[in-house]
Amino acid sequence: MIRIQNITKSFGRTQVLQDVSLDLPEGGVTALIGPNGAGKSTLLSIIARLAPADGGRVSIDGLDAHQAPSADLARLIAMLRQDNHLTARLTVRELIGFGRFPHSGGRLNAADQAAIDRAVAYLDLAELQHRFLDQLSGGQRQRAFVAMTIAQETKYLLLDEPLNNLDMKHARAMMRLLRQISQDLGKTVLVVLHDINFASCHADRIVAMKDGRIFATGTPRQIVAPEVLADLYETDIPVHDIDGRRIAAFYD
Ligand SMILES: Nc1ncnc2c1ncn2[C@@H]1O[C@H](COP(=O)(O)OP(=O)(O)O)[C@@H](O)[C@H]1O
Ligand SMILES: [Mg+2]
């Protein structure tokens, strides 16, 4: 389980996380939603130790995330960042191979190659695996970065807006994949989503953040509700029941 206790974080004078506490139980897909600037990316980065907190504590399976040896942490938790900048000219397969670093230490053995093959297949990248990243569309590149994260084969997976740039087919496939790896492989997935309908249809639970705080947590049925969404996003969002799911309609 991931236990987040009293995390605070400021940039300059702006406090972007205010005493955030949250327990994420093992297994399942948790969607993290909320308006721009709510602190979602900052919280994910702190959980994965990509950024320091000012106060508070994160523990993952009892391991202090900010004290544990980084190699131990890297075998337990992987994170897809919202903005991936790469200057090196790499192929898709080489990038995915980076995900194996905590296991391989830089020398890929047969087990690492097999894990790379699995990630290539999961993300539908077989035909693109020898292309350079700068020869890909935004959505193809996004899938390559997700494949790298999955190839790390950690128990916990944090994904910051993995649906960015994806077309409908690949967005749906991505959400099905996240559900599948949580169900079949017992992974615990925490995923930042902007499309609350994907959260509604695919997540086991939803955590909503606003103004650096946890605003609400619950099942999709509890969170994808007009009274919750109106306060969360400060705009009226009608919600319809379609085929037993709550679907927000906000395109008018
Ligand atoms: N490196 C940084 N320096 C200064 N301010 C930052 C930095 N990163 C994020 N912020 C600010 O922190 C707040 C939360 O940002 P973020 O965690 O990215 O929100 P979200 O992912 O929910 O959109 C925003 O107001 C953002 O401008
Ligand atoms: Mg963000």
pLDDT of residue 250: 81
CA of 96 to the centre of ligand 1 (A): 27
Place of tokens 């990243």: 133
CA of 30 to the centre of ligand 1 (A): 21
For 12-63, what is each residue's pLDDT tens digit?
999 999 999 999 999 999 999 999 999 999 999 999 999 999 999 999 999 9
CA of 25 to the centre of ligand 1 (A): 26
CA-closest residue to ligand 1 atom 25: 37
CA of 78 to the centre of ligand 1 (A): 21
Q: Under a CB-based contact definition with an 8 Å cutoff, are residues 57 and 126 in contact?
A: no
The number of distinct structural domains making up the chain is: 1
Q: Would you say the CB of residue 235 lies under 6 angstroms from ligand 1?
A: no
Q: Would you say the CB of residue 207 lies under 6 angstroms from ligand 1?
A: no
Q: Is the pLDDT of residue 213 over 90?
A: yes
Which pair of tokens denotes residue 208? 């909503």
Q: Would you say the CB of residue 39 lies under 6 angstroms from ligand 1?
A: yes
Tell me which amino acid residue 28 is.
Answer: G
Residue 55 CB partners (closer than 8 Å, separation 6+):
6, 7, 8
Q: Would you say the CB of residue 129 lies under 6 angstroms from ligand 1?
A: no
102-111, 154-163, 232-241: which range is least confident on average? 102-111
∠ Cα 116 30 179 (to 5°): 45
Q: Which atom of ligand 1 is nearest to the CA of 82?
A: 21
pLDDT of residue 88: 77
Q: Which atom of ligand 1 is nearest to the CA of 44?
A: 17
| Phi, psi of 123, deg, nearest 5 | -100, 10
Tell me which amino acid residue 168 is.
Answer: M
pLDDT of residue 116: 97
Q: Is the dihedral of CA 162, 164, 170, 173 positive or negative?
A: positive
Q: Would you say the CB of residue 210 lies under 6 angstroms from ligand 1?
A: no
25: three-class secondary structure by DSSP? coil
Name the band, by pLDDT with cuts 50, 70 and 90, for residue 103. confident
pLDDT of residue 192: 98
The CATH number of the domain where 188 resides is what?
3.40.50.300
CA-closest residue to ligand 1 atom 2: 11
Give the ligand with the smallest distance to the CA of 7: 1
**Whole-angstrom Cα distance, residue 148 to residue 211?**
31
Q: Under a CB-based contact definition with an 8 Å cutoff, are residues 32 and 40 in contact?
A: yes
DSSP tag of 21 = E
Tell me which amino acid residue 178 is.
Answer: L
CA-closest residue to ligand 1 atom 5: 11
- Domain span at residue 135 reads 2-248
Q: Would you say the CB of residue 187 lies under 6 angstroms from ligand 1?
A: no
230: three-class secondary structure by DSSP? helix
DSSP tag of 14 = E
pLDDT of residue 14: 95
Which pair of tokens denotes residue 68? 């544990």
CA-closest residue to ligand 1 atom 26: 37
pLDDT of residue 219: 97
For 106-154, what is each residue's pLDDT tens digit?
899 999 999 999 999 999 999 999 999 999 998 999 999 999 999 999 9
Which pair of tokens denotes residue 91? 């192929």
Tell me which amino acid residue 162 is.
Answer: P
pLDDT of residue 252: 76
Name the band, by pLDDT with cuts 50, 70 and 90, for residue 169. very high
For 54-95, what is each residue's pLDDT tens digit?
999 999 999 999 999 988 999 999 999 998 777 779 999 999
